[in-house]
Amino acid sequence: MYTRLFALLMLLLTSSTSLHAQEGHPLVGTWQGEWDGNFLTLIMNWDGTTISGMANPGPTSTTLESVVLDSSTWSVTITTDLKDDKGNTIHFTATGALDNIGSPVRTVQGTWRTDSSSGAFTLTRQSGA
């Protein structure tokens, strides 16, 4: 009786602990946000060495040029080319701080800039992504 109860208790403790653990690289997943009123989706991957991915998946998607994470300050810099509504290429750089690192719904908040403008942004990692 006590052996079964102890085994059940251990099973519950280990399963609940693993539910709250972060898995993998903190930038991996699908991220969404806005810059200057434009919707932005980033899909990022980690191959053990490099963070790669794409911006705005679909017919006008672009490959992320560079994604750098400084884990000592949890700062992120993303560089890529984006397409505007007219199909023109816009060079885009965003720098921000990674927040809620242990949460599945993390954010990166900071500033973005293009050749002609700049502003604030928030990217949110999509739950389950």
Which tens digits make up the pLDDT trace of 17-46? Answer: 434 444 578 999 999 999 888 899 999 999
Measured in Å, how far apart are the chain's first and last C-alpha atoms? 41
Residue indicated by tokens 């709250």: 20
pTM for this model (two decimals):
0.78
> How many CB atoms within 10 Å of residue 54?
16
> Which fold would CATH assign to domain 25-125?
Lipocalin (2.40.128)
